[in-house]
Amino acid sequence: MFMADLKGKVALVTGASSGIGEATSKMLASHGVNLILCARRIDRLNNLATELKNKYSVDVCAVELDMSKKESIVNIVNNLSEKFRNIDILINNAGLALYKDAYSDAELGDSIQMIHVNCEGLITLTKIIMPILLKSDNSFIVNIGSVASDTPYAGGAVYCATKSFVEMFSDCIRIEVMHTPIRVSNIKPGLVDTEFSTVRFKGDKAKADSIYEGFEALLSDDIASNIEYVLTRPKHVQIASITTMATSQGSATLVHKK
């Protein structure tokens, strides 16, 4: 199968400290892509940067970035050293769900945090990076959406809405840049076994583990493979969207458990 060469490109990955973002960063480094790793947990990023530099001889920098804080995002490019400034690939992965209660029972602050990170942070960073992507002759915006944008469920009012936002934002931006070399993709995973549920249930590990019990959930590498596919297509091929679920998952809300 044809695979475009990504060697020497520069990618910025948000949420690189865990789960899908970490797996995607490893996949990109294995292709010789130089990386800007972003998240709040800088210790994790520094460890990952060291690992990837040693294993793949790529350039990697770790950037402490809070996607809920506009001032943290708008200065990101100015604080990068010259060799990382020509970004070709933006992976908008940082995101979270908080709570699975009815909206009326949930803390308003939790709902607003999801909107800050999943929506405002994503569009702010995209706005900052797009002029750079436009200078490349082959660039990508890869947004991590979710099957949560397809199916409403009780307890998902705000999370599902944020992922619908990501989907529509991706679909509109794709139209706006179709006269340019930028390709825009929305990746929509089903249940992936990451720290996502531990965050959602605020550290309640038993509750988080129960989500993945009784069936074989997706792994972060499965979604990194989706992203690898998107980035390695020939230049005339744009993958608009990929939906991937575990074999035992039928929809955002239906999972067959043993």
Distance from the Cα of residue 93 to its chain's centroid: 1
Give CA–CA dist 40/212, Å, rounded. Answer: 26
Task: Spot the catalytic one: 9, 26, 99, 163.
Answer: 163
Least distance CB 180 / ligand NAP (angstroms): 25
Least distance CB 137 / ligand NAP (angstroms): 28
Least distance CB 175 / ligand NAP (angstroms): 23
Q: 14 pairs with which residues across the strands?
A: 38
Give CA–CA dist 147/163, Å, rounded. Answer: 8
Give CA–CA dist 133/154, Å, rounded. Answer: 38
Give CA–CA dist 221/239, Å, rounded. Answer: 19
Give CA–CA dist 215/248, Å, rounded. Answer: 7
Give CA–CA dist 52/28, Å, rounded. Answer: 10
> What is the contact surface with ligand NAP in residues (CB under 6 A)?
14-15, 17-21, 39-41, 65-68, 93-96, 117, 144, 146, 189, 191-192, 194-196, 199
Comparing CB distances to ligand NAP, the nearer of 156 and 189 is 189
Least distance CB 92 / ligand NAP (angstroms): 8
Q: Annotated catalytic, 56?
A: no
Task: Spot the catalytic one: 159, 202, 212, 235.
Answer: 159
- Known catalytic residues are 159, 163
